[in-house]
C-alpha cells in the first residue's frame, strides 16, 4: 500500500510557523533607555486606533488611556512610581486605566445605576485594560519603538488619579513608557513551557524540576550580561517578594476611586 501523498496542510503541520508577530513576541524585551527622537503624533494616533480593536468583555470597552507628553507631569508620575527615571526620559507615557465611568453614564442615560459593588466589574475593567495595554506594546514594537510597563502607578493610585484628572470609577492599572530604543535589550528567558502550559489537566508534579532549571537558565542570562545580582535566582526573588504584603492599602484606595470589590 503506497504512502499517502502529503497535502499542503499536512506539510505545514511539520514546520514551525513564522510570522512578524511571532518574531516580535519572541524577541520582546523591556526598554528603559530612549533616544531623543520624538514619536510622531500620527504614529500615536495610529497605534491607539489599532488597539481599540483589542478583545473586550461584552464590548464594554471598560478602559481608557491617558497620553502624557508634558515633562512636569512625567516627573511627578516618576516620583509617585518610586523615582523611575525612564518615565521622565521617555517621549510618551501612556497611563492604561480600568474605567467604569462610561458604563456608569450609560446606566444613568437609561434610568438605572451601575451595580459596581462586585469583584466581577473590577475584573472586567482590569482585564480590558491589560489586553489593550499589551496590544499597545505590540503595536509600538511593530513600528520599531521600545517600551516598558510601569506597575508603580499603583503605588499611590489616589495621587495618580488626581494628577491625571481621572473621573470616579477609574484607576491606572499600569503605565507604559515608549520611545525609540537606544539599543535592543536581550529578551529575558521565561519559565520553561512545561511549568506554565498544561494539556487537558493541570500537572503540579513538574513545578519543582522546571523551576530549578529556570533558576539555572536565568543565572546564565544575567551572568552573560555581567550582572551578579540576586535576580539570578527566580525562586529566591519570588519567595522574598511574595512572603511580604505588597501595597497593603491598595484595596482601600481603589474603593475610594470607585472599585469597592464587595
- pLDDT at position 1 is 44
Confidence at 185, pLDDT banded by 50, 70, 90: confident
Report the alpha-carbon angle 212-236-184, nearest 5. Answer: 80
Mean pLDDT, the chain, integer:
91
**179/188 Cα distance (integer angstroms):** 20
198-215: average pLDDT: 90
CATH domain 27-184 topology:
NADH Oxidase (3.40.109)
216-235: average pLDDT: 78
Q: Is 145 left (phi over 0), alpha (psi -120 to 50) or beta?
A: beta
Reported as a single tens digit per residue, the pLDDT across 105-158 is 999 999 999 886 678 999 999 999 999 999 999 999 999 999 999 999 999 999
**187/22 Cα distance (integer angstroms):** 13
pLDDT higher at 80 or 204: 80
- pTM for the model stands at 0.89
Beta bridge partners of 93: 68, 177
Contact 128, 57 (CB under 8 A): yes
Domain ranges of the chain: 27-184, 188-244
Contact 32, 188 (CB under 8 A): no
Three-class SS state of 59:
helix
Given a cut of 90, is residue 209 above it in pLDDT? no
Reported as a single tens digit per residue, the pLDDT across 112-127 is 998 866 789 999 999 9
**102/256 Cα distance (integer angstroms):** 18
Amino acid at each position: 500500500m503506497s504512502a499517502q501523498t502529503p497535502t499542503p496542510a499536512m506539510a505545514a503541520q511539520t514546520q514551525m510557523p513564522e510570522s512578524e508577530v511571532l518574531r516580535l513576541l519572541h524577541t520582546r524585551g523591556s526598554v528603559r533607555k530612549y533616544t531623543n527622537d520624538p514619536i510622531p503624533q500620527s504614529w500615536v494616533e495610529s497605534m491607539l486606533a489599532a488597539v481599540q480593536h483589542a478583545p473586550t468583555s461584552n464590548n464594554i470597552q471598560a478602559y481608557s488611556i491617558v497620553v502624557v507628553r508634558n515633562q512636569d507631569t512625567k516627573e511627578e508620575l516618576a516620583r509617585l512610581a518610586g523615582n523611575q527615571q525612564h518615565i521622565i526620559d521617555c517621549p510618551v507615557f501612556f497611563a492604561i486605566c480600568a474605567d467604569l465611568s462610561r458604563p456608569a453614564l450609560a446606566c444613568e442615560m437609561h434610568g438605572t445605576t451601575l451595580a459596581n459593588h462586585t469583584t466581577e466589574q473590577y475584573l472586567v475593567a482590569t482585564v480590558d485594560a491589560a489586553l489593550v495595554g499589551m496590544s499597545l506594546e505590540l503595536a509600538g514594537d511593530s513600528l520599531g519603538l521600545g517600551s516598558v510597563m510601569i506597575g508603580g502607578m499603583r503605588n499611590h493610585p489616589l495621587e495618580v488619579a488626581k494628577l491625571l484628572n481621572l473621573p470616579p470609577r477609574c484607576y491606572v492599572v499600569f503605565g507604559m513608557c515608549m520611545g525609540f530604543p537606544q539599543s535592543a535589550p536581550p529578551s529575558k528567558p521565561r519559565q520553561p513551557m512545561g511549568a506554565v502550559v498544561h494539556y487537558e489537566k493541570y500537572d503540579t508534579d513538574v513545578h519543582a524540576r522546571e523551576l530549578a532549571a529556570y533558576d539555572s537558565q536565568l543565572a546564565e542570562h544575567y551572568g552573560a550580561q555581567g550582572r551578579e545580582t540576586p535576580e539570578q535566582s527566580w525562586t529566591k526573588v519570588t519567595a522574598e517578594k511574595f512572603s511580604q504584603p505588597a501595597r497593603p492599602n491598595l484595596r482601600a484606595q481603589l474603593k475610594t476611586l470607585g472599585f469597592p470589590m464587595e
